[in-house]
Amino acid sequence: MGLPAYLTKSSSTLKPATLLRHLRFMSNVPENTVYGGPKPQNPHQRVTLTHLKQKHKKGDPITVVTAYDYPSAVHLDTAGIDVCLVGDSAAMVVHGHDTTLPISLDEMLVHCRAVARGAKRPLLVGDLPFGTYESSSNQAVNTAVRILKEGGMDAIKLEGGSASRITAAKAIVEAGIAVMGHVGLTPQAISVLGGFRPQGKNIASAVKVVETALALQEAGCFSVVLECVPAPVAAAATSALKIPTIGIGAGPFCSGQVLVYHDLLGMMQHPHHAKVTPKFCKQYAHVGDVINKALVEYKEEVANGSFPGPAHSPYKISETEINGFMSELQKLGLDKAAASTAAAAEKIKMSVSSNGPAND
Q: What are phi and psi of 64, to 5 degrees?
A: -130, 135
Q: How many CB atoms lie within 10 A of CB 179?
A: 27
DSSP designation for 59: T
CA–CA dist 76, 262 (Å, integer):
12
DSSP designation for 98: S
CA–CA dist 294, 296 (Å, integer):
5
CA–CA dist 12, 243 (Å, integer):
54
Helix, coil or strand: residue 179: strand
Q: Which of 159, 174, 227, 301 is catalytic?
A: 227
Q: What interhelical angle do 203-219 and 163-174 show, nearest 10?
A: 20
CA–CA dist 247, 243 (Å, integer):
13
Q: Tell me, yes or no, if 346 is annotated catalytic.
A: no
CA–CA dist 142, 132 (Å, integer):
9
Long-range residue pairs from 112-115, CB within 8 A, at least 24 positions apart, any chain? 112/86, 112/147, 112/150, 112/151, 112/152, 112/153, 113/150, 113/151, 113/152, 114/68, 114/69, 114/70, 114/73, 115/67, 115/68, 115/69, 115/70, 115/72, 115/73, 115/84, 115/86, 115/152
CA–CA dist 329, 341 (Å, integer):
10
27: left (phi over 0), alpha (psi -120 to 50) or beta: beta
Nearest to 184 by CA among 166, 159, 215: 159
Helix, coil or strand: residue 307: coil
* Active site residue ranges: 227
